[in-house]
C-alpha cells in the first residue's frame, strides 16, 4: 500500500471519505467520541449522503454534554449511532476489587480500565468491519506525529485505518466548524479541547498542550488508552 499511501497524502479529507464510502460502504466504521474532529467528519459524511457505519464507545462514564452532542448528531443529520458498551461483568469485577478510581493509582491500572471500557468494546465494534475512520491529527500529541492518512491498522490487520484529517491543524478544524455551522460538544467552550471519560478529562490552561487535560497525572508519552497505537 506504499504507493497508495503517497497518493492519499495528497488528497483532501472529503476525497478520502468519498473513496472510503465507494470502497467499503457500511463495512467501514466512523469511530466517534463526538469531539471537534469527529464532528467535522460526521458533517462531511452527512454531506456525502452517509454510507458508513457510525459507532461510538459508551464507557459508562462520559460527560452529560457528550450525550447531548450525540443526540444533536442524531436529530440534525439523521444518522444512526451504533453504541457499544463495556462488558457488565468485567466492570462490576473491576469496581468491586479496585474501587471507582483505580485508574489514578498507576498506569497499569489506568490501562486496565481503558481496556475494559474502551478496547474490548472497540474490538467488538470492528469485528464486522474491514476499515475504520478516525479523527486523529498529527499535531494532537507526541504519540500521533506520524499518523498516516490511510494504512493497514497494525493492531487489527488486515483492517485499514483511515485518518482523513491527519494533516489538519486545530485552526483548520475550528474554521470548518464555523464555516459549516457544525454542532460541537459544549465542553469545548470550557477549555476542553480533548474529551474522554469525565473522571479522566479536565480543562487545559493557556499554553498547555491540547492533550494536557487527558490523564493529566501521567507523562505525555503514556497518554494513549490503547485504541490507537503510537505511530
Q: What percent of the chain has pLDDT over 90?
A: 80
State whether CATH 3.40.50.620 applies to domain 2-222: yes
Strands ordered across the beta sheet of 28-31: 82-84, 53-57, 28-31, 131-133, 160-162, 150-152
How far is the C-alpha of 40 from the C-alpha of 42, rounded, in Å?
5
User: In this model, does residue 8 exceed pLDDT 50?
Assistant: yes
Strands 131-133 and 160-162: parallel
**Prediction pTM value:** 0.89
Rounded to whole angstroms, the Cα distance separating 16 from 203 reads 32
- Decide which of 109 and 223 is more confident: 109
Instruction: Report, as residue numbers or ranges, the catalytic residues.
Output: 225
On the question of pLDDT at 221 being above 70, the answer is no
Q: What is the pLDDT of residue 218?
A: 85
- 222 to 36, 138, 225, 228: CA distances (angstroms): 22, 16, 9, 12
Q: Please give the pLDDT value at position 64.
A: 97
Give the per-residue pLDDT at 2: 57
Q: Residue 225 has what pLDDT?
A: 52
Model confidence over 150-201: pLDDT tens digits? 999 988 999 999 999 999 999 999 999 999 999 999 999 999 988 999 999 9
Q: What is d(CA 17, CA 140) in angstroms, rounded to the nearest whole number?
A: 21
Share of the chain above pLDDT 70, in %: 92
Amino acid at each position: 500500500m506504499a504507493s497508495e499511501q503517497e497518493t492519499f497524502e495528497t488528497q483532501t479529507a472529503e476525497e478520502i471519505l468519498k473513496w472510503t464510502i465507494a470502497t467499503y460502504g457500511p463495512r467501514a466504521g466512523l469511530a466517534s467520541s463526538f469531539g471537534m474532529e469527529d464532528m467535522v467528519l460526521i458533517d462531511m459524511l452527512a454531506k456525502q449522503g452517509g454510507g458508513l457505519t457510525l459507532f461510538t464507545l459508551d464507557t459508562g462514564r462520559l460527560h452529560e454534554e457528550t450525550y447531548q452532542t450525540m443526540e444533536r448528531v442524531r436529530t440534525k443529520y439523521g444518522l444512526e449511532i451504533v453504541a457499544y458498551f463495556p462488558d457488565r461483568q468485567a466492570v462490576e469485577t473491576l469496581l468491586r476489587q479496585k474501587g471507582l478510581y483505580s485508574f489514578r493509582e498507576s498506569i497499569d491500572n489506568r490501562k486496565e480500565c481503558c481496556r475494559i471500557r474502551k478496547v474490548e468494546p472497540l474490538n467488538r465494534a470492528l469485528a464486522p468491519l474491514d476499515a475504520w475512520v478516525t479523527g486523529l491529527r498529527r499535531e494532537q500529541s507526541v504519540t500521533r506525529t506520524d499518523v498516516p492518512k490511510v494504512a493497514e491498522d497494525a493492531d487489527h490487520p488486515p483492517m485499514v485505518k483511515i485518518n482523513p484529517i491527519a494533516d489538519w491543524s486545530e485552526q483548520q478544524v475550528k474554521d470548518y466548524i464555523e464555516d459549516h455551522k457544525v454542532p460541537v460538544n459544549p465542553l469545548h467552550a470550557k477549555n476542553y479541547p480533548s474529551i474522554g471519560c469525565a473522571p479522566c478529562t479536565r480543562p487545559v490552561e493557556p499554553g498547555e498542550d491540547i492533550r494536557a487535560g487527558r490523564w493529566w497525572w501521567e507523562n505525555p508519552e503514556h497518554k494513549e488508552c490503547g485504541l490507537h497505537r503510537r505511530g
